[in-house]
Amino acid sequence: MRECRRVSPAIDVGALNAEMQGLGAEARVRRAAELLPEARILSSSFGAQAAVSLHLVTRALPRIPVVLIDTGYLFAETYGFVDALAARLDLNLRIYRPAASPAWLEARHGKLWEHGAAGIERYNQIHKVEPMQRALADLGVGTWFAGLRRQQSRTRAAIEAVQRIGPDRYKVHPIFDWTDRNVYDYLKRHGLPYHPLWERGYVSIGDWHTTRSLRDAGDASEATRFFGLQRECGLHLIGAGS
């Protein structure tokens, strides 16, 4: 059942971002929850450093739905990581998948990820973007928390703490300005793990067929996903132009 969402007054995103600059990550979560519309979700790919946002946001908002998009092609280690963190952090996990199974989609379209940039874009639309759009609609989302950071890639270098992605929908990045050192310190302080593949040189972890270790990518972090043809899957571009 879709949650009822209160209509929020007009939000001055520029002023809110200026305020967020002076707050710590935990305070940013609380301030966003005070000002921005319900219902709220946290999305997670359960990637390399996912435990930070999962721990930080759910401590402030304990029963917030945590949305995972399961493409059907995640690493076995990722599925194990999901189970481990869901149990440890008592996550309110909501899993969304493509409308058809991976086998059925391959029968229809072939292995889209093997067909260059256009194939990868279509694959991501079917396996990631559409399920996320469905999650936002099903859950009546007003505020979407995510763990994006400026230091992660060139495509994320300009993100702010808060972004309007619809008439009454906002995206919040509580750790947008954190460095890798900040992430390490937080994980160590709270005894939280990196993804199991981190120790094998995987710095950005998605589907097994389009993710490479840093060594296999020639030490170029931008080339560890999608064969270097693109960096973003499109999931975090939903509503970006709104």
Is the backbone peptide bond immediately before 39 cis, with ω within 30 degrees of 0?
yes
Q: How many helical (H) and strand (E) elements, i.e. helices and strands, does the chain have?
A: 8, 6
Which three-class secondary structure state does DSSP give residue 144? Answer: strand
- Give me the catalytic one of 36, 48, 67, 233: 233
Q: Taking the CB of residue 220, how many other CB atoms lie within 10 A of it?
A: 10
Residue 57: name the closest of 120, 147, 126 by CA: 147
The C-alpha angle 4, 6, 9, rounded to 5 degrees, equals 165
User: DSSP for 62-100?
Assistant: TT-EEEEE--S-B-HHHHHHHHHHHHHHT-EEEEE--SS
Q: Taking the CB of residue 211, how many other CB atoms lie within 10 A of it?
A: 23
- What distance in Å separates the CA atoms of residue 114 and residue 159, rounded to the nearest whole number? 30
**Known active-site residue 4:** no
Which residues carry out catalysis?
A: 233
